[in-house]
Amino acid sequence: MSAYNIVSIAGSDPSGGAGVQADLKAFSAHGTFGMTVVTALTAQSTRGVTGVHPVPARFVAHQMDTLFADAAVHAVKVGMLGTSEVTEAVAEAIDHHALPNVVVDPVMVAKSGDRLLEASAVDALRTKLLPRADLVTPNLPEAADLLEEPEATDLASMRAQAWRLLELGPRRVLLKGGHLAGGESVDVLVSRDADPVEFRAPRVATRNTHGTGCTLSSSIAALLPQRPDVAAAVGGAKDYLTEAIRRADEIDAGGGQGPVHHFHAWW
């Protein structure tokens, strides 16, 4: 029996590299039982997103109420939300169901450049969801949008932005540096209740990085109930993701930007 149930509240990616599909793979790879609340359907492949079909907020709330009335939940990963109505419904559910270990990946734009969150929903994300997050995991463009300032261009400006993001209300911020150049990919963790920590990994030369953000945030959610503290969960998730990126070229899921290898420890 798996001791931990982890829920992904996110969109569907038919290509299997991002969204709830990636989250379920990462939850399973970390020995936990994955559950999903689907917030949007996308038409998507390794080449990009060709359509988004949001789930009505009332039905997202219905999925959450039905699931949370029955299952014990040990952590939650929140990904693509699509609209401000869905963002508000998820924020309400976090309070109403007293959800633990809430990791918010503030998904706004896919690597292909396609928008996954309406521009008008950024404010709801900033004001309603972030203050309810135990950890928020923006990439550099998402951090810039949330702060309404230019994107960080080096590690020093990343560190400064991570602290400013903390002022928006989450308990901790992991600012991801995948979009910077350099031999290492560095992520910065700042917390209200612990010293800052930086996580470094060799930058892997591959175009197959579709779903890295989803995989990192869902891995952290799966490890939070299993590790002594947040830094240990982030470190474990980063190590797992780096190996998944290193082995990504073994998967052939299409002709564009391919997924990472979630089951590198088994196959």
Ligand X SMILES: Nc1ncnc2c1ncn2[C@@H]1O[C@H](COP(=O)(O)OP(=O)(O)O)[C@@H](O)[C@H]1O
Q: Which residues bind ligand LCLJCK34 (CB under 6 A)?
A: 10-13, 18-19, 42, 44, 79-80, 107, 110-111, 116, 210-214
Helix orientation angle between 212-223 and 19-29, rounded to the nearest 10 degrees: 40
* Residue with Cβ nearer ligand LCLJCK34 (34 or 79): 79
**Binding partner at 176 among ligand LCLJCK34, ligand X, none, C-beta below 5 to 8 Å by kind:** ligand X
Please report whether residue 79 would count as binding ligand X according to CB under 6 A.
Answer: no
Q: Can you spell out the DSSP letters for 157-181?
A: HHHHHHHHHHTTS-SEEEE--TTS-
Structure tokens at 250: 């073994």
* Among 7, 20, 245, 248, interactor with ligand X by CB under 6 A: 245
Placement of tokens 């135990």 in the chain: 134
Please report whether residue 241 would count as binding ligand X according to CB under 6 A.
Answer: yes
Q: Which of 212, 236, 238, 258 is catalytic?
A: 212
Placement of tokens 């590198």 in the chain: 264
Q: Which of 185, 168, 218, 184 is nearest to 6 (CA)?
A: 218
Q: Which of 70, 67, 6, 71 is nearest to 32 (CA)?
A: 6
Q: Smallest distance from the beta carbon of 145 to ligand X, in angstroms?
A: 13
Lay out the site mask for ligand X across 21-60 (x = CB under 6 A, - = otherwise): ----------------------------------------
Please report whether residue 139 would count as binding ligand X according to CB under 6 A.
Answer: yes
Q: How many Cα atoms within 13 Å fall on the side-chain side of residue 4?
A: 21
Are the CB atoms for 8 and 103 separated by under 8 Å?
no
* Among 42, 191, 208, 209, interactor with ligand X by CB under 6 A: 209
Q: Is 176 a catalytic residue?
A: yes
Q: Which of 25, 77, 128, 176 is catalytic?
A: 176
Please report whether residue 177 would count as binding ligand X according to CB under 6 A.
Answer: yes
Q: Which of 50, 27, 24 is nearest to 116 (CA)?
A: 50
Q: Is 206 a catalytic residue?
A: no
Is residue 200 helix, strand or coil? strand
**Binding partner at 19 among ligand LCLJCK34, ligand X, none, C-beta below 5 to 8 Å by kind:** ligand LCLJCK34
* Residue with Cβ nearer ligand X (63 or 206): 206
* Among 135, 187, 251, 262, interactor with ligand X by CB under 6 A: 187
Q: Using the 8-state DSSP alphabet, how is residue 116 labeled?
A: -
* Among 12, 32, 36, 212, interactor with ligand X by CB under 6 A: 212
Residues 121 and 30: their CA atoms lie apart, in Å, by: 32
Please report whether residue 262 would count as binding ligand X according to CB under 6 A.
Answer: no
Q: Is 214 a catalytic residue?
A: yes
Q: Is 213 a catalytic residue?
A: yes
Handedness of CA 205, 178, 45, 150 (dihedral sign): negative
Are the CB atoms for 250 and 12 separated by under 8 Å?
no
Are the CB atoms for 45 and 256 separated by under 8 Å?
yes
Catalytic residues: 176, 209, 211-214
Residues that bind ligand X in the complex, under the rule CB under 6 A: 111, 139, 176-179, 185, 187, 201, 203-204, 209, 212-213, 216, 238, 241-242, 245
